[in-house]
Amino acid sequence: MASLDLDLTEPQQMLRDAVQRLLADVEAPGWQALTAQLGLGGLTLPEAAGGFGGGVAEVALVMAELGPALAGADWLSHAAACAGLAGIAPEFPLLEALASGTARAALVCAATAQGAPDLVDGVRLEGSARLVAGGAGADLYVIAIGGNLAVIRADAPGLTREDRALHDGTLAADLHFAGAAAELVARAEAGALLDLVRAGRCAEAVGLMQRMLTDTADYLNQRRQFGAPIASFQALRHRLADMQLAALQAAALTEQAVTALAACDADAAVSLAAACVAVRDAARTVGEGAVQLHGAMGLTEELRLGARFKRVLAIAAGLGSEAQVLERFAAAA
Question: Terminal CA-to-CA distance of the chain, rounded, Å?
Answer: 33
**What does the alpha-carbon distance between residue 151 and residue 84 come to, in Å, rounded to a whole number?**
10
Last residue of a domain, one of 71, 103, 135: 103
Last residue of a domain, one of 163, 189, 215: 189
Q: Which domain holds residue 304?
A: 191-332
**What does the alpha-carbon distance between residue 293 and residue 290 come to, in Å, rounded to a whole number?**
5
Range of weakest confidence among 31-45, 152-166, 218-232, 303-317: 218-232
In this structure, are 133 and 158 located in the same domain?
Answer: yes
In this structure, are 73 and 117 located in the same domain?
Answer: no
The pLDDT of residue 210: 97
How many independent structural domains does the chain possess?
A: 3
Taking the model in full, what pTM does it have?
0.95
Residue type, 163: D
| pLDDT single digits (tens) 241-259 | 999 999 999 999 999 999 9
The pLDDT of residue 1: 54
Mean pLDDT of 274-288: 96
Last residue of a domain, one of 155, 189, 223: 189
Confidence of residue 79 (pLDDT cuts 50, 70, 90): very high
The pLDDT of residue 299: 80
Instruction: Count other C-beta atoms under 10 Å from residue 287's C-beta.
Output: 25
Q: What's 41's domain CATH number? A: 1.10.540.10
| pLDDT single digits (tens) 208-236 | 999 999 999 999 888 888 888 878 888 98
The pLDDT of residue 224: 81
